[in-house]
Amino acid sequence: MWLLRIAGVFADSEPEILRALEAKPLKRLEGGYLLARLANPALLRVSATAKFVRWNLPVHHSWPCSPPAIPGFIEKAAQALWRKFGGCQPQTILVGALDPGGSNRYYRALASNLRGRTLQLFPPAAALRQAEDQDSLAPTLFCLVGKEGLFCGSQSPALSNGFYPGGTRFIRQNGPGTISRAGAKIAEALHQLRLQRLPPPAGSHWLELGASPGGMTAELLARGYRVTAVDRAALDARLDRARGLQAVVADAASFQPARGTAYDAILSDMNGDPLDAITRVIRLAGHLRHGGLVVFTLKLPGVADFAATNAIEAEVVAAAAAAGLRLLARTHLTYNRHEFTLFFDRQAAFQPAGKNL
């Protein structure tokens, strides 16, 4: 039995998604989770359809119940986890609420208290301070608790597609001074990238295409990056004279970097046809250092059909591969709408002038 988390934006395509993954639905849970049986779990690793599944976990232990109705639930659950997983030596134990965005704080508190008690039973090595400190390839004991009970499994963050139970941590998108929600999207993307490789170090030079109004730009600058931000529209006035920023009012289709310019990463969140967008990225990838990163939002305006979505993505990936851009990962982020985030790195022999990574 598996826990699958499929974003509600793909609800109309869910039957086709499940068929393609050879998954038999068993029960729908809160928070967008689905209990299912998988005839071939390997499809979650190799099938392009897996991009529709935001997070997954094999259920090695479940306790269907109403936690508030169970006296001593935390102690009983912690002891059960120790008996079931005590000999497995997980790198850490993480517990979350099935519906972390819900208004009821009870289950968030319950998850925190259950983790604290469970860690008391396991060896001290299992008490990592930060979820991001995990080895993405080592097994973690993930647990989710909610009004339908407790569901747990042991799997690496890379196979689960996230460092946290259910995926990524909550990232505020509407705080004071926020320019746009896109800042939360790139923050989550860089967090997700750590499942595959480390993000570029502070001081790296990003080329951002489709930058206006500047939500992603502001987030990159806050992380100590240098940014060349290109858009036909101007950036938010709050970014005027921002340190490390070069704002260029131009169409990405005609923008031409100065001779000898080399970028460490390219970010594309351009609207419009995705094949046009990847063509513009490919043209400018000649200025990307060998091993450099591309973060590409695959936008699907007017495309709701499951087969058409897969076909467009295949065309984009093929065009990128032909240009020497290797696909690292594809995923649907919490802050994606009807779109996906694709990660590439530059594998071609092209070596621009300037200092290498």
Classify residue 9 as exposed, middle or buried by CB count within 10 Å of its CB (0-12, 13-18, 19+): middle
Q: What is the pLDDT of residue 348?
A: 56
Q: Is residue 156 part of a domain?
A: yes
pLDDT by residue (tens digit) across 144-184?
999 999 999 999 999 999 999 998 776 666 665 677 878 88
Q: What is the pLDDT of residue 103?
A: 63
CATH of the domain at 323: 3.40.50.150
Q: Are residues 198 and 88 in the same domain?
A: no
Cβ atoms of 298 and 341 within 8 Å: the answer is yes
Q: Is residue 154 part of a domain?
A: yes
Q: Is residue 354 part of a domain?
A: no
Q: Are residues 199 and 279 in the same domain?
A: yes
Q: Are residues 104 and 20 in the same domain?
A: yes
How many domains, the chain?
2
Q: Are residues 23 and 90 in the same domain?
A: yes
Q: What is the pLDDT of residue 302?
A: 81
Q: What is the pLDDT of residue 8?
A: 86
Q: What is the pLDDT of residue 262?
A: 95
3-state secondary structure labels for all residues of 70-109: CCCHHHHHHHHHHHHHCCCCCCCEEEEECCCCCCCCHHHH
Instruction: Please give the torsion angle defined by the CA atoms of residues 201, 127, 96 and 47, in that order, rounded to the nearest 10 degrees.
Output: 60
Residue 197 to residue 190: CA distance in whole angstroms? 10
pLDDT of 129 over the 90 cut: no
pLDDT by residue (tens digit) across 56-73?
999 999 999 999 999 999
Q: What is the pLDDT of residue 357?
A: 26
Q: Are residues 103 and 239 in the same domain?
A: no
Q: Is residue 166 part of a domain?
A: no
Q: What is the pLDDT of residue 172?
A: 66
Helix (H, G, I), strand (E, B) or coil at 335: coil
Q: Is residue 352 part of a domain?
A: no
Q: Are residues 191 and 50 in the same domain?
A: no
Half-sphere exposure of 258 (CA within 13 A, CB side): 5
C-alpha of 205 from chain center: 22
Q: Are residues 71 and 200 in the same domain?
A: no
Q: Are residues 131 and 192 in the same domain?
A: no
Q: Are residues 36 and 122 in the same domain?
A: yes
Q: What is the pLDDT of residue 297?
A: 96
CATH of the domain at 43: 3.30.2130
* Residue spans of alpha helices (H) in the chain: 14-20, 43-46, 73-85, 106-121, 157-160, 182-193, 215-222, 274-284, 306-322
pLDDT of 354 over the 50 cut: no
Q: Are residues 231 and 129 in the same domain?
A: no
Q: Is residue 175 part of a domain?
A: no
Q: Is residue 168 part of a domain?
A: no
One-letter amino acid of 335: Y
pLDDT by residue (tens digit) across 139-152?
999 999 999 999 99
Q: Which structural domain range is residue 76 located in?
A: 2-160
Q: What is the mean pLDDT of residues 227-239?
A: 94
**Considering 125, 160, 195, which residue would you say is the last residue of a domain?**
160
**Considering 107, 126, 160, which residue would you say is the last residue of a domain?**
160
Q: Are residues 52 and 125 in the same domain?
A: yes
Q: Are residues 256 and 131 in the same domain?
A: no
Helix (H, G, I), strand (E, B) or coil at 305: coil
pLDDT by residue (tens digit) across 314-332?
999 999 999 999 999 999 9
Q: Is residue 176 part of a domain?
A: no
Name the pTM for this structure: 0.90
